[in-house]
């Protein structure tokens, strides 16, 4: 009995550790006072100021564009990588390939950022492209480091999937490409969505790599937040954070409701099939 007490206590402590800072952050975004730690009454004025902050709004737009494009590229490349790792058996360079997929997961961001910048500079000297640094280079950098996360998500979904469906389709004469688009892709679709969202979030969150590979005039949202946080806290950042948390929470809520509904539908279909047969 005592052990169970300790465990639930540990669990509560862990959740409190994870959530109390976020709750406090949201609470103080509605604070009237400029001093973030002194409660001066309820107010939404910081949200109003946020909407008038031009630099912040344009940085948000840029970040959303970069995140959407790089997440899409990284889902395409990550799906290929996941397929290659889990369905193609042995091929030449598989060890190197596997290493290049897992290493970016743990690589410190300062190293990735510096090395990509030096690559872009060297490429510009040799082939004249990319011409300067900006949205293109940030998008390439984000695709590269989010690709690994997508590949791992896809790979684990493919490993957990029943391979006999693909084999059956192949036995019935479907060509590999057709098997992939008709059988595999619909089954791993939830993993594709999860991978895209993960890549999108990681891209939207990155400050270190972006700082290295961005140029003048291409400042992303995290870069704006980072430089303003360095000068101390402001209720405007709290308001912005609250909005970001709200968007993420809504997104995850909708995704889980949709997935739960699909799951129920699938179970119902299976039951109908059993009863019908």
Partner 1 sequence: MRGVVSALSRLGLWGRGAVIAMPFLWLLLFFLVPFLIVFGISFSESIVAQPPYAPLVGWLTDEEAGTTKLQILLNLTNYLRLTGDDLYILAYLNSVKIALVTTLLCLAIGYPMAYAIARADPARRGPLMMLVILPFWTSFLIRIYAWIGILKSNGVISNLLEWTGITSGPVEILYSDWAVYIGMTYCYLPFMVLPLYSTLEKMDPTLLEAAADLGCRPLKAFLTVTLPLSLPGIIAGSLLVFIPAVGEFVTPELLGGPDTLMIGRVLWNEFFANRDWPVASGVAIALLLVLVVPIMIFQYVQGRETEER
The tokens for 174 are 């479907």
* Of 86, 139, 146, 210, the one binding partner 1 by CB under 8 A: 86
Q: How far is the CB of 277 from partner 1 (least distance, A)?
A: 29
Q: Select from 116-124, 128-136, 182-190, 268-276 the region that touches partner 1 (CB under 8 A).
A: 116-124
Question: Is 22 a residue that touches partner 1 (CB under 8 A)?
Answer: yes
Interface with partner 1 in residues 169-198 (CB under 8 A): 175-177
* Of 48, 99, 132, 163, the one binding partner 1 by CB under 8 A: 99
* Of 107, 182, 185, 257, the one binding partner 1 by CB under 8 A: 107
Interface with partner 1 in residues 38-57 (CB under 8 A): 38
Question: Is 258 a residue that touches partner 1 (CB under 8 A)?
Answer: no
259/272 with CB nearer partner 1: 259
Question: Is 90 a residue that touches partner 1 (CB under 8 A)?
Answer: no
49/98 with CB nearer partner 1: 98
Question: Is 237 a residue that touches partner 1 (CB under 8 A)?
Answer: yes
Q: How many residues bind partner 1 (CB under 8 A)?
A: 89
36/69 with CB nearer partner 1: 36
* Of 52, 90, 108, 277, the one binding partner 1 by CB under 8 A: 108
Question: Is 220 a residue that touches partner 1 (CB under 8 A)?
Answer: no
* Residues 208, 113 contacting (CB under 8 angstroms): yes
Question: Is 24 a residue that touches partner 1 (CB under 8 A)?
Answer: yes
């Amino acid at each position: 009995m005592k052990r169970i007490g300790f465990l639930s206590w540990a669990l509560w402590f862990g959740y409190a550790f994870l959530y109390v800072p976020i709750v406090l952050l949201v609470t103080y975004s509605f604070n009237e006072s400029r001093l973030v730690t002194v409660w001066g009454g309820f107010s939404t004025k910081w949200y109003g100021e946020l909407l008038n902050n031009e630099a912040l709004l344009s940085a948000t737009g840029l970040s959303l564009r970069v995140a959407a494009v790089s997440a899409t590229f990284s889902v395409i490349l990550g799906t290929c990588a996941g397929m290659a790792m889990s369905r193609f058996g042995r091929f030449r360079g598989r060890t190197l390939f596997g290493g290049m997929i897992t290493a970016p997961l743990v690589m410190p961001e300062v190293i990735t950022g510096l090395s990509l910048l030096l690559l872009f500079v060297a490429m510009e000297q040799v082939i004249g492209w990319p011409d300067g640094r900006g949205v293109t280079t940030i998008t390439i950098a984000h695709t590269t480091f989010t690709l690994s996360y997508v590949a791992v998500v896809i790979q684990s979904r493919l490993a957990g999937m029943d391979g006999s469906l693909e084999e059956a389709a192949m036995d019935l004469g479907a060509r590999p490409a057709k098997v992939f688009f008709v059988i595999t892709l619909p089954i791993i679709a939830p993993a594709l969505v999860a991978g895209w969202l993960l890549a999108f979030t990681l891209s939207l969150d990155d400050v270190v790599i972006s700082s290295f590979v961005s140029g003048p005039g291409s400042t992303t949202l995290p870069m704006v937040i980072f430089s303003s946080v360095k000068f101390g806290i402001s209720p405007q950042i709290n308001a912005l954070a609250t909005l970001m948390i709200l968007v993420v929470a809504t997104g995850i809520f909708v995704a889980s409701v949709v997935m739960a509904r699909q799951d129920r539908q699938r179970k119902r279909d299976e039951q109908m099939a059993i009863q019908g047969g």
